[in-house]
Chains A and B, each alone.
Chain A
Amino acid sequence: MTYVIGEACIDEMDGSCVDVCPVDCIYEGEEKRYIQPVECIDCGACLTACPVSAITSPNDGHDRVWAVDNSDFFELALPGRGEPIGSPGGASSLGKIGVDTPLVTQRGGES
């Protein structure tokens, strides 16, 4: 399991993690960002860049719900998209995707 972005990221649009990722594997949904688990190389650069400590490393152990949320973003066909995002090999080619996982959409609506 690679690095995972958790709940604290919702509505936090700082985005420094994206700037420091050496493999461009942090994708932007609408209100949250997600780490592509296949593309992440476990370097840990994003961990210290995050201003709200939303990212957890494999050594710290993950909240299972958010680990699944990260992979769901790439493996599920998100609302309005016919196919899963999969592994495009770089986030900057896609830009802001503009849609979140059902879990995040639901939480965002509550706040």
Chain B
Amino acid sequence: MIRCDLLIVGAGPAGLFATYYAGMRGLDVVLVDSLAHLGGQVAALYPEKLIYDIAGMPAVKGRDLISGLVEQARSAQPQIMLGEECATIDDQSDGSVVVTTSTGTEIGCGAVLITGGIGRFTPRPLPAVDAYTGDGIHRVVAPAEEYVGEDVVVVGGGDSAVDWANMLVDSANTVTLVHRRARFTAHESSVDELRTSGCRIITDAEILEITGAPSVRRVLVKAADQDGIETVPASIVIPALGHIASLGPLLDWGLTIKGRQIEVGTDMATGRSRVYAAGDITDYPGKVRLMVVGFGEAATAVNNIAVVLRPDEDLFPGHSSELPRMLATESRG
């Protein structure tokens, strides 16, 4: 079992700043995120967007802000676990908690701070695919050579759908792209490449059903402007409809959930012992969902957690400008 003082769930801006702050308070941190990278939705959704409301930064690109936050967080020397989802939480007799991840890793910690933002990303649902229980559904695409001889149906109209169709069109027996709209949201050059390739493109059409056992044999496609249903031979279906955020397993942690948010007190405590939250995921009267507010909440949460774990310490940590750790970090940079 991995052991730490504080488990931080979510490596977006609030989680990264909380990591730094926990380091400043001398806490050992494990930082977990379900995405494969640090920076949360800023890195995933708008790395190139300019942000104007970070204190002291008149204008900063999403990716530059994240890179600064990551550098700051590294000073806490956290153990970082990416691509892992925190699934369950269990109270221990000594007051600590054990959190188990989706891959079965157990993390024993003094406290948990949830900085999960809008939740974790999962593939967007597609009823026909979700209803099919056989083999041959590839949510993660393998190297192209593994599709030699296969009849592949890719579903979607964004960059990943078009890129995967382009990638597989030379090695697979056939590639069919089914998109429910007339227009693609993928890059124009990729769509042009696809149109001149051997890929069959069916637009304005939805997948009604996938059949075959034990693995995919046929996909039934219904075009919006036609009455009939077309049967497309298929051995592999690749759903590429992008991702959607939801709170996922956190819903079962016994927290007070309101809409997409966790209710917290002024000390960022959730009401469940040793579990705190900060950033966009929190809610309380007067909450404003901005990164700067999340940074403040992260500091509030970590300081309150520090006192719970070490009752002899003060809630107020002292000023960072007076801490030797800070001076050491500055001299290294």
Contacts and interface: CB of A to CB of B under 8 A. Distances in A.
Interface of A: 14-16, 19-20, 22-24, 38-39, 41, 43-45, 49, 51, 87, 89-90, 92
A45 B243 CA distance: 12
A19 B118 contact: no
Contact of A41 (B118, B185, B241): B118
B157 interface: yes
B118 A16 contact: no
B49 interface: yes
A19 B242 contact: yes
B224 to A, nearest CB: 10
Contacts of A24: 124, 244
Residue among A39, A43, A89 with the highest chain B CB neighbour number at 10 A:
A43
B248 interface: no
A14 B45 contact: no
A20 B118 contact: no
B244 A22 contact: yes
A91 B245 CA distance: 13
Given A41-B280, A45-B45, A87-B259, A20 B244 contact: no
Interface in B143-196: 156-158, 181-183, 185
B253 interface: no
B132 interface: no
Given A15-B181, A22-B244, A23-B118, 4 more contacts: A14-B181, A14-B182, A22-B41, A24-B124
A20 to B, nearest CB: 6
Nearest to B290: A42
B45 A16 contact: no
